[in-house]
């Protein structure tokens, strides 16, 4: 093989793992969509591909089948953890519960209107759940919905704050990756975040102060790109990022631009 031909071979992208990666993503999506039918279809397809791989002695088909079945299995276990057991039962009953939780993201404020008051939504990990006369130790993600007089306290509390709440537990949107929604009736701030998260919050406060005099888009976008804090991004800018397919840029840090 000549030098030029060798360089051409090296320059060709190796796409052999692309099918396995693609079906792995599809299997995870089916398993966590909240639709058992999709999980069943993905499993049947995986078994069929595995049988075809055995008949044809194809390593590529075998890898595709393994990736698909593994993704469906992991996704199904994850979905079962979120929706089964006492949490899923109480959510299905829209039960009144008491919960101990720690916030894991910045609150997103929802503007009020003629028919509804201003509110906010914040993601949290629920650690303890009490309802229907029993107490469970859990560790599941939920979204906390807050309105009324405690709104200001929740808005100013840093990420990692621990709360005790009385709320109504409702089912989460299918495919959201959440175990439920907590509509808060009463809440109490139990403890601020630990030293590590407190230091991160100081950085966030400094960054917000540095862009305080800028336009609304800049005030929201800079913390989103640097720290993943999307709480102040204007809704129209969020929509523009979705249309452009650039929402991943605000998921972590500005390292996406490297």
Structural domain spans, the chain? 16-83, 93-193, 196-257
Give the whole-angstrom CA distance, residue 73 versus residue 71: 5
Q: What is the DSSP letter of 71?
A: H
Q: Nearest to residue 147, comparing CAs of 181, 175, 119, 114?
A: 119
Residues constituting the chain: 258
Q: What CATH number belongs to 93-193? A: 2.40.50.140
Determine if the pTM surpasses 0.75: no
Distance of CA 131 to the CA centre of its chain: 25
Q: Nearest to residue 75, comparing CAs of 152, 177, 162?
A: 177
**Predicted local confidence at residue 254, as pLDDT:** 39
Task: Point out which residues pair with 255 in neighbouring strands.
Answer: none
**Predicted local confidence at residue 119, as pLDDT:** 85
**Predicted local confidence at residue 250, as pLDDT:** 56
Over the chain (258 residues), what is each successive 10-residue block's mean pLDDT?
54 72 85 83 90 87 88 85 83 93 85 74 93 90 90 88 94 86 94 82 77 78 72 72 65 42
**Predicted local confidence at residue 246, as pLDDT:** 65
Q: Nearest to residue 108, comparing CAs of 201, 244, 241, 235?
A: 235
């Amino acid at each position: 093989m000549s030098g030029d031909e060798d360089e051409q071979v090296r320059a060709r992208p190796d796409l052999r793992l692309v099918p396995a990666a693609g079906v792995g993503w599809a299997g995870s999506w089916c398993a966590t969509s909240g639709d058992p039918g999709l999980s069943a279809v993905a499993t049947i397809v995986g078994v069929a591909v595995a049988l075809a791989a055995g008949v044809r002695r194809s390593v590529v088909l075998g890898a595709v089948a393994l990736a698909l079945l593994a993704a469906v299995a992991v996704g199904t276990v994850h979905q079962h953890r979120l929706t089964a057991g006492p949490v899923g039962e109480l959510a299905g009953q829209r039960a009144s519960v008491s919960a101990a939780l720690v916030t894991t993201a910045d609150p997103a404020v929802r503007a009020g209107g003629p028919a509804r008051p201003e509110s906010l939504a914040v993601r949290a990990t629920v650690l303890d759940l009490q309802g229907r006369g029993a107490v469970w130790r859990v560790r599941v993600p939920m979204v906390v919905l807050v309105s009324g007089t405690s709104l200001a306290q929740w808005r100013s509390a840093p990420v990692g704050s621990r709360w005790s709440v009385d709320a109504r537990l409702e089912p989460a949107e299918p495919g959201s990756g959440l175990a439920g929604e907590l509509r808060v009736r009463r809440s109490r701030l139990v403890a601020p975040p630990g030293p590590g998260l407190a230091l991160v919050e100081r950085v966030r406060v400094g960054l917000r102060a540095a862009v305080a005099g800028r336009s609304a888009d800049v005030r929201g976008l800079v913390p989103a790109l640097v720290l993943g804090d999307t709480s102040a991004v204007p809704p129209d800018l969020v929509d523009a990022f979705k249309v452009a397919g650039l929402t991943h840029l605000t998921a972590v840090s500005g390292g996406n631009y490297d």
